[in-house]
Amino acid sequence: MLITTCPHCQTSFKVTPEQLALYQGKVQCGSCTHIFVAFDYLVSVENSPATEVISTAIPTPPQTTDNVTFAIEEIEIIVDEELPPDFTEPDLPFIEDDFPPQRPKILLQSAFCFFLIVLLSGQAIFYWRSEVSSQFPEYRPYLKEGCRWLRCSVEWPRKPDLLAIVNSDFRLVGAEDLQRAELIFQIRNRSNKQLAYPRLELSLLDNQQAVVGRRLIEAEQYVPSDRKIDAGFASRQELSATLRLDLSGLTVSGYQLYLR
């Protein structure tokens, strides 16, 4: 039989190997509630009919993984006295009041994590609002409404690499009028997303293929009036346009056209 003694009040207890192994030997005195390691005060006593120890042990739910105990009630060591024949060890309930509930703390941590997720999601949507509106056009009105309060704008993504110049031509308006020319071109949205209308960069070349003039043409200058620029360049759509240019004394024999 194994006996341990509380170092605080000197009360002795009977313990079992199962109880000692349950929480690494930590126990709580049922007399003074002092917590100690039973292994440090453990002695072995020969178990005989004339020497019996009455004990009960109550495992206690641990509060943390580093500080766990079980409680044993105060007992009395009876020496040279027979136990009553009808004696039985009482069944004791688990101790619950020694450990405060953790639910409010868990709820607070969960609410804080949820707030961080919402905040980070909002920042990501704000930063990539153009890409989100292109990928999910049905949410564009909500993004524009949000930007109205934040004083920002929701533009269509500008992706000239997803567009293509199908064909283009540059010619003088008349043989006698060398100062006016026409730029005729057709562009296509090759992607499956709504994009912004591109800017056009026109370089004018002389006979030596040297650049004598360069112009940047905005979408407002070539998009027809029957199309809304704010609606974007629809997926797989083509656009044909003609621009009149004033050469202003330049001698032009060639051109280069790029999407920007």
SS3 content of the chain, % helix, strand, coil (to 5): 25, 30, 45
Q: What are phi and psi of 23, to 5 degrees?
A: -130, 45
Task: Calculate the average pLDDT of the chain.
Answer: 78
Contact 26, 40 (CB under 8 A): no
Please state the rounded mean pLDDT for residues 166-171.
Answer: 92
Any idea what the CATH number is for the domain that residue 226 is in? 2.60.40
User: Hey, how many other C-beta atoms are within 10 angstroms of the C-beta on 115?
Assistant: 10
Please report whether residue 26 resides in a domain: yes
Distance CA 183, CA 200 (A): 11
Please state the rounded mean pLDDT for residues 161-165.
Answer: 95
Q: Are 175 and 210 found together in one domain?
A: yes
* 198, burial (CB in 10 Å: exposed 0-12, middle 13-18, buried 19+): buried
pLDDT digits over 45-80, tens only?
Answer: 775 444 444 444 444 444 444 444 444 444 444 444
pLDDT digits over 111-129, tens only?
Answer: 889 888 888 887 787 778 7
Highest mean pLDDT among 6-20, 59-73, 156-170 belongs to: 156-170
Distance CA 12, CA 102 (A): 34
Domain coverage including residue 24: 2-79
Please report whether residue 92 resides in a domain: no
Please state the rounded mean pLDDT for residues 83-103.
Answer: 53
Q: Choose between 176 and 7: higher pLDDT.
A: 7
Distance CA 52, CA 214 (A): 108
Please report whether residue 90 resides in a domain: no
Q: Are 74 and 45 found together in one domain?
A: yes
Please report whether residue 94 resides in a domain: no
Q: CA torsion sign, 125 to 129 to 131 to 136?
A: positive
How much is the pTM? 0.49
Please report whether residue 237 resides in a domain: yes
Residue 240 has pLDDT above 60, yes or no: yes
Please report whether residue 89 resides in a domain: no
Q: Are 115 and 68 found together in one domain?
A: no
Q: What is the pLDDT of residue 91?
A: 53
Please report whether residue 31 resides in a domain: yes
Please report whether residue 8 resides in a domain: yes
Please state the rounded mean pLDDT for residues 27-31.
Answer: 82
Residue whose token pair is 């930063």: 127
Q: Are 30 and 73 found together in one domain?
A: yes
Q: Are 247 and 177 found together in one domain?
A: yes
Single out the residue in 40, 64, 79 at which a domain terminates.
79
**Number of structural domains in the chain:** 3
Please state the rounded mean pLDDT for residues 21-26.
Answer: 79
- Residue of 81, 60, 75 whose CA lies nearest to 13: 75
Single out the residue in 150, 178, 212 at which a domain terminates.
150
Residue 4 has pLDDT above 70, yes or no: yes
pLDDT digits over 178-214, tens only?
Answer: 678 899 999 999 999 889 999 999 999 988 999 999 9
- What 3-state class would DSSP assign to 42? strand
